Amino acid sequence: MTKPSTTIDRGASTRRILLPLALTQFVASFAGSSMNVSISNISEDLDTTVHGVQTAITLFLLCMAALMIPGSKLTDLLGRKRCLIGGLTVYGTGAVVAALAPALGVLVVGYSAFEGVGSALMIPPIYILATMFFDNLQSRARAFGVISGMGGIGAAAGPLIGGLITTTISWRATFLLQAAVVGVIVLLSRGISDPVPADRSRHFDTAGAVLSAAGMFFTVVAILQIGINGVLVAVFAALGVGFLLWFFQHVRSLEARGIEPLISTSLFRNRASNLALITQNVQWFLLMGSSFVVSVYLQVIRGYSAIETGLIFTAATAGILISSLAAERLARRRAQSTLIRAGFAVTLAGIALLLALVRETSGVATFVPGLLLIGLGTGTMLTPSVNVVQSSFPERRQGEISGLSRSVSNLGSSLGTAIAGTILISAATEGNHSYALATVALAIAALIGLGVALLLPSHPVRSER
């Protein structure tokens, strides 16, 4: 693979390259959280239930996770810029379909399917291009800081922006806004040149893509059935495990025959990358899980409107914005592993405050300290985790590792919405008790993330194979 010039002499400035990439990550993250504050409005408008809207949100995140690895492989086959533009086009189409949806089924097609597929195509090129254009730690930390920061801000600001639009116009207008932003990104992306040409000779593992997607799909759907249908939980869980085992056996079989699989097992031989991947998964589990739990609690239990719910999340947005702006400075002063550990510790403290301060009769101010710390904590560790993973492999493997990294992150988002949300919705107890149970689940996940972060080496070794 030809090494791109780090001076970026392709007729586009650093800002012109980063802006469309960061906006793309922003709009995808925004789509995952902006729906949370519109749950009551959507349920009433489409004559469905909170669980129905939760399913649509989870399926959107799951679709991204399931197709992110195949999407990353296509970047090598078709080209990074082509996948970026193609993904944006599919995503924008889905946004328009969702805006016009007359029923939940059409919303799932437009939002969960089209936007999910579009995201799986447009997200991997973001991190691949950033890695190729910025090849030293500080410049790459800056680029990842901007991109990951915009992703975190999109997830945190989604409730505020979505709540404002839903209250003043309609929840449908949030999708039209996404379509408009996508149009702007397409125009901005014209100034980006692909660092290396597409390689049409690369093998695409179609069977592996189907097996891995089916395995993740049935596993998450099994979680969504908890408390609803015990038989389906068992059936879907068995199917999920079965497809995943089949997928791993398929990968080993292709490697034994010298055929390129969907994902190489050699990607899992770097200890630092493996641990950082787990931290990425847990980070997005916490960010999306806490957003869903607090949003549903405020709307269903407290009876808050979309804009009232969104305003409360301003604290989390401020926290992510502050920590993201400090990403470059922190990267110069502290090791990546130290930032990840600190991020989990601060996030855990925020979750503890949400559990300790929030009561059925408490005011909105009781949410602010916890959400602020969650924003600060997740914002602090999002960029270092991505940097550790991407920097652990040479440029020729960026397509593979970028897809795996984004898949793991989005799987965390879908699991956070599915697990914490299902506990909140299906808990036998009502009111603050179900909220407490869901928040405890988030705290346990944060403890697991902190434990894994403590195992991260201070100076990761890069794999050259």
| Model confidence pLDDT, tens digit, residues 222-268 | 887 877 778 888 999 999 999 999 999 999 999 999 998 988 888 89
Q: What is the mean pLDDT of the chain?
A: 86
Q: Distance between CA 99 and CA 107 in Å, rounded?
A: 8
Residues of the chain with pLDDT under 50: 1-12, 428
Q: Distance between CA 91 and CA 97 in Å, rounded?
A: 10
What per-residue confidence (pLDDT) applies to 220?
A: 85
Instruction: For residue 289, count CB atoms less than 10 angstroms from its CB and return exposed for 0-12, middle for 13-18, buried for 19 or more.
Output: buried
Q: Distance between CA 452 and CA 460 in Å, rounded?
A: 15
What per-residue confidence (pLDDT) applies to 110?
A: 96
What per-residue confidence (pLDDT) applies to 308?
A: 87
Query: Could you tell me the residue ranges of all domains in the chain?
Result: 14-194+262-454, 206-261
Q: What three-state secondary structure class fits 12?
A: coil
Q: Say if pTM beats, i.e. exceeds, 0.85.
A: no
Phi, psi for 46 (deg, rounded to 5) = -100, 5
Q: Are 398 and 132 in contact (CB under 8 A)?
A: yes
What per-residue confidence (pLDDT) applies to 97?
A: 97
Phi, psi for 202 (deg, rounded to 5) = -65, 140
What per-residue confidence (pLDDT) applies to 77?
A: 85
Tokens of 377: 């904590």
Tokens of 127: 């991190």
pLDDT digits (tens, 9 = 90+) for 14-31: 667 888 999 999 998 888
Spelled out in words, what is the top-level CATH class assigned to the domain 14-194+262-454? Answer: mainly alpha
Q: Are 103 and 144 in contact (CB under 8 A)?
A: no
* Closest C-alpha to 293, from 277, 276, 316: 316
* Closest C-alpha to 438, from 302, 240, 288, 303: 288
Q: Distance between CA 272 and CA 268 in Å, rounded?
A: 10
Query: Please, where are the H alpha helices in 134-171?
Result: 137-168
What per-residue confidence (pLDDT) applies to 156?
A: 74
pLDDT digits (tens, 9 = 90+) for 423-442: 887 654 566 788 888 999 99
Element (H, E) at 401: helix 398-415
Per-residue burial over 62-90, b = 16 or more CB atoms within 10 Å of its CB, e = otherwise: bbbbbbbbbbbbbbbbbbbbbbbbbbbbb
Q: How far apart are the first and last CA of the chain?
A: 13
Q: What three-state secondary structure class fits 192?
A: coil
Q: What three-state secondary structure class fits 465?
A: coil
pLDDT digits (tens, 9 = 90+) for 26-57: 998 888 788 888 888 999 999 998 888 888 98
Q: Are 43 and 49 in contact (CB under 8 A)?
A: yes
Tokens of 463: 């794999």
What per-residue confidence (pLDDT) applies to 10?
A: 40
